[in-house]
Chains A and B, each alone.
Chain A
Amino acid sequence: MRMRTIEISVGAFVLAGVLAAIFLIVQVSGINVSRSEETYKLTARFDDVAGLRVRSKVSMAGVTIGRVQGIVVDTEFGEAIVTLEIDGAPGSLTIDTGAKILTEGILGARYIGLVPGADEEMLGDGDEIVETQGAIVLENLIGQFLSNFGKG
C-alpha cells in the first residue's frame, strides 16, 4: 500500500544517489576503474614544472599515452623529478625521446608532451628521459625580454 510506494521511491532515490556518485567519481574526477592494462614508469628531470600536477596527462603528437604519477623536488640541483606512468609495455619509446612541458591553449592545463627520437635503443621501465625542456614561465620570458630590450 502507501508504505510500499514510499519504500520503492526511497530505494530509487538512494540508487540514483549512488549512480550519481559513481558518475562523479569516474567521469568527472577521472578515476579510471577499468584501467588494468599494463603500464611502466619513466622519470624525467625538469628545471621548472610550474603548473604541472599529479595526473596531468602525458601525450605524444596530441594523443594521451600516460599521466604524471608523482613530482618531487631535488633541492641539491634545484630540479623537479617527475615520474611518468606510460601505458603499454616498454619498448616503444626511443632512448633519445624528449619531454617538454606544454600548455593547452594560453591558460589551459599544463601537460607533458613527448617528442620522438631516432635512436635504436628503447627506454625500459624506470629509465630516465634526459632530453627535457621545462615549463615556459611567462614572467621569466617577459623579464628576459625586458632586460634584452634594455641592453639593446
Chain B
Amino acid sequence: MEHVLRRIGAETLRWLQGLGRATMMWAMAVARLPRWSDVSLIVRQVYNIGVLSVVIIVLSGFAIGAVIALQFYTQLARFGAEDAVGVGLALVLLRELGPVVTALLFAGRAGSAITAEIGLMKTTEQLSIMEMMGVDPLRRIVAPRLWGGFISMPLLTVLFNTVAIYGGVVVGIHWLGADPGGFWSGMQNTVELWQDLGKGMVKAVVFGLVVTWIAVFQGYDCEPTAEGMGLATTRTVVMSSVLVLAMDFFLTLLMYGDFR
C-alpha cells in the first residue's frame, strides 16, 4: 500500500515537473514577440501546420455536415419541421462540433507532425548544434510553430464550419429537398454572431493554443531516441484529444453556463 502511494506521489511530482518545463518553454518562446525577420519562419509554419491540413479538414467537414443534415432531416421530418435542419446544423457546428472536430483532426494531422519533426531535430542533435551556434532553438524552432498553430487553428475551424454547412445544404436542400428559404432564414434568425459564432471561435483559439503547445513540447522534451520520438508522437495525439474534449466541456459550461 505504501508502495503504491509512493508511486502515485512520484508520478504526480514527475507530471508537475513536466508541466513546469512546458510552461517555461512556452513562456520563453513567446515572451519576446516575433521580430520582422521571424515572419518568414512563421509563414512557413502556417504552411506546414495550416495549409497542409486543409484537405483533411475540408473532406471531414463536408462529410460531417452532410451526415448531420441527414440525421436531423429524418428526425425533424416526423414533426414536419424540416426547415429546422438549418438551425440545428448551424448551432451544432458553430458551438461544438466545428471547434472540437477541427481540433481533433488538427492534433492528428499537424500536432503529430510537429512533434515528430522537433523530436527528429532533437534526436539528430540539430537543436543542440543550433544552440552551440548561438541560435536559440526556442526562438528559431519553437516560437514560429507556436505562432503558426495559433494562427492556423481558427482559420481551419472557420473553413470546417463553412464546408460543413455546405455539406448540409447539399444533403438537406439539394438531395432531401428541404425548403431553402426556411433553411436559411431559420438559421439566420436563430444564430447569433457572438453567442454562437464568436464563442465557438473562442474555443477554436484556445484549442489551437493548447494543441500546438502540447505538440511542440512533446517534441522538444522527448527522449532523443527513435523510440522516444514514437512515444512522444503518440502522447501528443492522446493528450491533445483528451484535453480538447475535457476543455470543451468546461468552456461550454463557462460560456453558455446556467444549465441548472
Contact = CB atoms under 8 A, between A and B. Distances in A.
B158 A107 contact: no
Contact of B158 (A7, A24, A53): A24
A1 interface: no
A107 B79 contact: yes
B155 A6 contact: no
B87 A109 contact: yes
A130 interface: no
B192 A55 contact: yes
A6 to B, nearest CB: 5
Contacts of A31: 193
Interface stretch (B5-13, B44-52, B105-113, B217-225): B44-52
Contacts of A20: 155, 158-159, 161-162
A25 B196 CA distance: 10
A17 B155 contact: yes
A133 B249 CA distance: 40
A21 B189 CA distance: 18
A20 B83 CA distance: 23
A10 B197 contact: no
Interface in A71-122: 104-109, 111
A23 interface: yes
A144 interface: no
Nearest to B198: A29
Contacts of B54: 13, 16
B161 A30 contact: no
Interface in B201-234: none
Contact of A64 (B44, B165, B185, B191): B185
B34 interface: no
Contacts, number: 104
B189 A28 contact: no
B47 A10 contact: yes
Interface string B138-149: 000000000000
A28 B155 contact: no
B158 A109 contact: no
Contacts of B43: 6-7, 10
A98 to B, nearest CB: 21
26 contacts: A3-B44, A6-B44, A7-B43, A9-B51, A10-B51, A13-B50, A13-B155, A14-B155, A16-B54, A17-B154, A20-B161, A23-B162, A25-B193, A25-B197, A28-B90, A29-B192, A30-B191, A53-B190, A55-B189, A104-B186, A105-B81, A106-B79, A107-B84, A109-B84, A109-B87, A109-B190
Interface of A: 3, 6-7, 9-10, 12-14, 16-17, 20-21, 23-25, 27-31, 53, 55-57, 64, 67, 104-109, 111
- Going nearest first, the 7 A-B pairs with the smallest beta carbon separation are A30-B188, A17-B155, A20-B162, A105-B81, A29-B191, A20-B158, A6-B47
Given A28-B191, A29-B192, A107-B84, 7 more contacts: A6-B43, A7-B43, A29-B191, A30-B188, A105-B83, A108-B83, A109-B190
